[in-house]
Chains A and B, each alone.
Chain A
Amino acid sequence: MIRIAGLTRRQWAALALVLGLAVAFLLPMVVTDYRSFQFTLVIIYAIALMGLNLLTGYNGQISIGHGAFYAIGAYTAAIMMDRWEIAYYWTLPAAGVVCLVSGFLFGLPALRLEGLYLALATFALAVATPQILKYFDSWTGGVQGIVLFKPDPPFGLPLSQDQWLYYFSLAIALVMFWAAWNLIHSRIGRAIVAIRDHPIAAQTMGINAPLYKSMTFGVSALYTGVAGALGAIVVQFVAPDSFSVFLSISFLVGAVVGGLASFTGAIYGGLFVVFIPNISEEISQAAPWAIYGAFLLVFMYVMPSGIAGFLRRIGAWIARRNAS
């Protein structure tokens, strides 16, 4: 067993997890409400990216249209809260189920084909989404969108609204990451990965590839949909033009830059998607996207496994040096 500073790899991972959780828990105590809001967005993106990661990273299916499922989740939450005055926490399971079903149904025809065609079909979905949202304006409020109100913390907790939403999102994210971890490390998870690594061999072993692919697409959409519902609650506003093709692209950017097929990668991706545009927006309105594009290319050439993969390599390098 290789030890670094007396601890094994597994112990280091556990330590990092505990430290990470502690930082995540203490964060809103020490930063401003606006920063708490930003970190809430990081958590929300991380959930969405986890969903995309299940599909693209573990199952090898490319989606350029996950913004559509984020939009469906967001509108499910917004319509339930605004029209039917349902409490915000009930909107999350509803958004999840709606996205699970719509993801499964959309995936069913497209997934029978190879990955390239799925990319094409999801791209078309992403481009068409704002128009579809505007069309059903009696539900979606058309171009003006729907304005929501921030929920107050329950049980008289001494927290600001932003702090409460941060903890609420954090709790949801922890449950969903834990569920994803169990899914990937189960028999079903192995089947999902097997389809990515060798589809024909996987089918020979008796895995029903189309069914598993559609299911993965559905579960992936569920994650993104829950993130969308959370996003609507936190941002307090939904409008068709915030769900353009660029939202879908930013998910893809986050997943790739953070690191595909990695749980921590989703978190790095979330940090990247929220904070990099803020930094680069000072240069120009169009700059964030140019920088996104440049990052995408650079990561493709230099670090195809993203930030998570890069850190893993550094860890392995330290371990090797210690061993010798």
Chain B
Amino acid sequence: MELVLQQVLSGLATGGIYASVALAVVMIYQAIEHFNFAQGEMAMFSTYVAWSLIQIGMPYWVAFGLTLVISFIGGVLIERIVLRPLHRAPILSQIIAFIALFVIFNSVAGWIFTYTIKPFPSPFPEEPIFGTFISTHQVGVIGVTLVMLGILFVFFNFSRIGLAMRAAAQNPESSRLVGIPVGWMTALGWGLASAIGAVAGMMVAPIVFLEPNMMVGILLYGFAGALLGGVTSPTGAVVGGFLVGVIENLVGTFVPFIGTELKLTVALVIIVGVLTIKPSGLFGRPVVTRV
């Protein structure tokens, strides 16, 4: 029983990271109805930015904040420069643009920072404050995720810009009529998604070490979480992310033939399984096309 509890708790900690990635994926999906395959690599690059800032002697939380700002601006710029011209292009062109971004971020990170793994500091103390069940960093990850979710909830429900962004995602035509600059709302969505991804990257880097391929597997879990919760529902994405974290840990511990070697396959099975059984996910609404 203790083992189950321990695995559930640490599953919730990694689940927080997946939930952040899933949330970033869903934010972009809501704005442009596409999965951003480069989300993980953007987050990885942001983490390298944070690492560089810490290397030049900046205190952790200052670097953290500055990274969020840089990531936000970067996300907005990517939308404006790369994706805006493809606004009306077919699905294939857009997916190829995402793949191009994926490859560019990955290789440029390898180019600038080399492929050697780097340790990334955790802002939380090393000694276990919360007992032996869970490390302080894991509690910190859950805390950071929850704080971020709280801020986003308030932003999207009570601020003018947040409401405008939701309106622009739900009904672009009508939003334009009431004077919302829909294009810029999409760009803001990209910026926010990029910043959320940066948080996920900085939270996971102390666990998996920093290297250019660090986020590929995590992005897969983010996708699995987003699908499980429902790609049309931000709340669903968060719940899905936490669930996937717990499932991953429990399956890895208690299903003997899976262990740690087939962890990515678990994500693959969740993705294909959700798409086959319930494509709209747990909280999403089914997609209806008008003929």
Binding site for B on A (CB under 8 A): 56, 60, 62, 64, 109-110, 112-117, 119-121, 123-125, 127-128, 131-132, 134-135, 200, 245-246, 249, 252, 256, 260, 284-290, 292-294, 296-297, 300-301, 304
Q: Residue on A with the closest CB to B257?
A: A135
Residues of chain B lying within 8 A (CB to CB) of residue A252: 96, 99
- Residues from 78 to 123 in B contacting A, C-beta threshold 8 Å: 82, 85-86, 89, 91-93, 95-97, 99-104, 106-108, 110-111, 115
Residues of chain B lying within 8 A (CB to CB) of residue A256: 96
Determine the distance from Cα of A103 to Cα of B216 in the docked complex, in whole angstroms: 23
* 17 A/B residue pairs, CB under 8 Å, sorted by A: A112-B276, A116-B33, A116-B35, A116-B95, A120-B223, A120-B271, A120-B275, A124-B271, A127-B267, A128-B267, A131-B261, A252-B96, A252-B99, A285-B110, A286-B110, A289-B110, A296-B103
Least CB distance, B18 to chain A, in whole angstroms: 14
Determine the distance from Cα of A7 to Cα of B287 in the docked complex, in whole angstroms: 53
A300 x B93 contact (CB < 8 A): yes
B216 x A134 contact (CB < 8 A): no
Determine the distance from Cα of A246 to Cα of B216 in the docked complex, in whole angstroms: 11
Determine the distance from Cα of A285 to Cα of B115 in the docked complex, in whole angstroms: 10
Determine the distance from Cα of A197 to Cα of B89 in the docked complex, in whole angstroms: 15
The total of interchain contacts (Cβ-Cβ below 8 angstroms) comes to 132
Q: Is B56 an interface residue (CB 8 A)?
A: no
A64 x B37 contact (CB < 8 A): yes
* B residues contacting the other copy or chain, number (CB 8 A): 46
Q: Mark B216-238, 1 if CB is under 8 A from A, else 0.
A: 11001001100100000000000
Determine the distance from Cα of A294 to Cα of B115 in the docked complex, in whole angstroms: 21
Binding site for A on B (CB under 8 A): 33-35, 37, 82, 85-86, 89, 91-93, 95-97, 99-104, 106-108, 110-111, 115, 216-217, 220, 223-224, 227, 261-265, 267-268, 271-272, 275-276, 279, 287, 291
Determine the distance from Cα of A115 to Cα of B37 in the docked complex, in whole angstroms: 14
B108 x A128 contact (CB < 8 A): no
Determine the distance from Cα of A8 to Cα of B97 in the docked complex, in whole angstroms: 38
B92 x A289 contact (CB < 8 A): no
B100 x A286 contact (CB < 8 A): no
Determine the distance from Cα of A242 to Cα of B108 in the docked complex, in whole angstroms: 20
Least CB distance, B56 to chain A, in whole angstroms: 23
Q: Residue on B with the closest CB to A201?
A: B291
A124 x B223 contact (CB < 8 A): yes
B275 x A121 contact (CB < 8 A): yes
B262 x A132 contact (CB < 8 A): yes
Tell me the interface secondary structure of chain A in the complex: helix
Determine the distance from Cα of A160 to Cα of B31 in the docked complex, in whole angstroms: 58
Knowing A62-B92, A289-B106, A297-B100 are in contact, say whether A127-B220 is a contact too (CB < 8 A): yes
Residues of chain B lying within 8 A (CB to CB) of residue A62: 91-92, 95
A249 x B107 contact (CB < 8 A): no
Residues of chain B lying within 8 A (CB to CB) of residue A297: 82, 97, 100, 104
Determine the distance from Cα of A60 to Cα of B92 in the docked complex, in whole angstroms: 8
Knowing A287-B107, A289-B106 are in contact, say whether A131-B35 is a contact too (CB < 8 A): no
Residues of chain A lying within 8 A (CB to CB) of residue B85: 301
A119 x B95 contact (CB < 8 A): yes
B267 x A294 contact (CB < 8 A): no
Least CB distance, A222 to chain B, in whole angstroms: 21
Least CB distance, A250 to chain B, in whole angstroms: 9
Knowing A110-B272, A135-B262 are in contact, say whether A116-B34 is a contact too (CB < 8 A): yes
List of 9 A-B pairs having minimum Cβ-Cβ separation, nearest first: A289-B107, A293-B104, A296-B100, A293-B103, A286-B110, A109-B276, A286-B111, A128-B264, A286-B107
A119 x B35 contact (CB < 8 A): yes
Least CB distance, A125 to chain B, in whole angstroms: 6
User: Out of B86, B89, B111, which one reaches A290, CB within 8 Å?
Assistant: B111
Residues of chain B lying within 8 A (CB to CB) of residue A289: 103-104, 106-107, 110
A113 x B220 contact (CB < 8 A): no
B220 x A124 contact (CB < 8 A): yes
A293 x B272 contact (CB < 8 A): no
Point out which of B93, B95, B227, B263 has the most chain A C-beta atoms below 10 A from its C-beta. B95
Least CB distance, B31 to chain A, in whole angstroms: 14
User: Out of B86, B101, B110, which one reaches A293, CB within 8 Å?
Assistant: B101
B93 x A110 contact (CB < 8 A): no
A290 x B107 contact (CB < 8 A): yes
A117 x B275 contact (CB < 8 A): yes
Least CB distance, B1 to chain A, in whole angstroms: 30
Determine the distance from Cα of A249 to Cα of B97 in the docked complex, in whole angstroms: 12
Residues of chain A lying within 8 A (CB to CB) of residue B220: 123-124, 127-128
Determine the distance from Cα of A120 to Cα of B29 in the docked complex, in whole angstroms: 13
Q: Residue on A with the closest CB to B93?
A: A300
Point out which of A64, A115, A120 has the most chain B C-beta atoms below 10 A from its C-beta. A120
Determine the distance from Cα of A60 to Cα of B91 in the docked complex, in whole angstroms: 10
Determine the distance from Cα of A283 to Cα of B222 in the docked complex, in whole angstroms: 34
Least CB distance, A103 to chain B, in whole angstroms: 14
A245 x B104 contact (CB < 8 A): no
Determine the distance from Cα of A300 to Cα of B89 in the docked complex, in whole angstroms: 9
Determine the distance from Cα of A306 to Cα of B36 in the docked complex, in whole angstroms: 23
Least CB distance, B92 to chain A, in whole angstroms: 6
Q: Residue on B with the closest CB to A288?
A: B107
A115 x B93 contact (CB < 8 A): no
